Amino acid sequence: MRPIDQEICSLLKVRKIGGMELLFREYYKPLVVWATTFLHDTQRAEDIVQDFFVKLWEKPYSALLPETLKSYLFTSIRNLALNQLDKIDPLRRACDVAYCDSPWNEYDNFEDEVFRSVEEELEKLTPRAQDVIRKIYLEGMKYKDVADELGISVATVNSILVRALKKLRQRSDNNDKLAIYLFFLEKSLILEQ
């Protein structure tokens, strides 16, 4: 059991908004990626996850257990995505359900593949660009902190990041997984500023 899941469940149990903030920070992006694997439409996937979070907050506490939180979230999003697909193409669900017995395992494998692809592409960048991307996206550092640590300006950090993401985007044309991951990197870049 992850300590963060235990904290999320404890805060939600007493209806603290911090529980939703933690839930959003830990699970929003992975759940959107998961929903996108079914819907092949990022905007629709984001809408499903956002609606799910709102309904989760609005309904009375339903005794979420930290041990089952992750599987509950991923199973719920899978079901909502499949229900969305039923509205578009009722026969599609029959095919998708056969491959979705363990949603959290599939997501973990998908995530591992994406990170491997990104790592391979990162290795092709300059050491400085690799360093900036790793510090911001993998270590979660703020632009200013990266700039201070590397002895460069925030504008230089942003410039290095923009050029590196542009190169990665150009290479991702034939790799959908890398494209999905880059989409979320760019979204967090926009949110960071």
Domain boundaries, the chain: 1-101, 102-193
pLDDT at 177 over 60: no
**What is the chain's percent helix, strand, coil content, to nearest 5?**
80, 0, 20
- What pLDDT sits at residue 193? 43
Q: 70 is written with which tokens?
A: 């992750």
Single-letter code of the amino acid located at 26:
E
Mean pLDDT calculated for residue range 112-135:
80
Spatial separation of the C-alpha atoms in residues 165 and 183, rounded to whole Å: 10
Q: What are phi and psi of 122, to 5 degrees?
A: -60, -35
Spatial separation of the C-alpha atoms in residues 76 and 81, rounded to whole Å: 9
pLDDT at 191 over 50: no
Q: What is the pLDDT of residues 131-158, one digit of tens each?
A: 888 888 767 788 899 999 999 999 999 8
Spatial separation of the C-alpha atoms in residues 47 and 45, rounded to whole Å: 5
Decide if 71 contacts 103 (C-beta within 8 A).
Answer: yes
CA angle 162, 192, 126 (to 5 degrees): 30
For domain 102-193, the CATH class is mainly alpha
- What pLDDT sits at residue 192? 45
Kindly indicate the confidence band of residue 67, based on its pLDDT and cuts at 50, 70 and 90.
confident
Mean pLDDT calculated for residue range 20-49:
90
Higher pLDDT, 190 or 124: 124
Spatial separation of the C-alpha atoms in residues 177 and 115, rounded to whole Å: 9
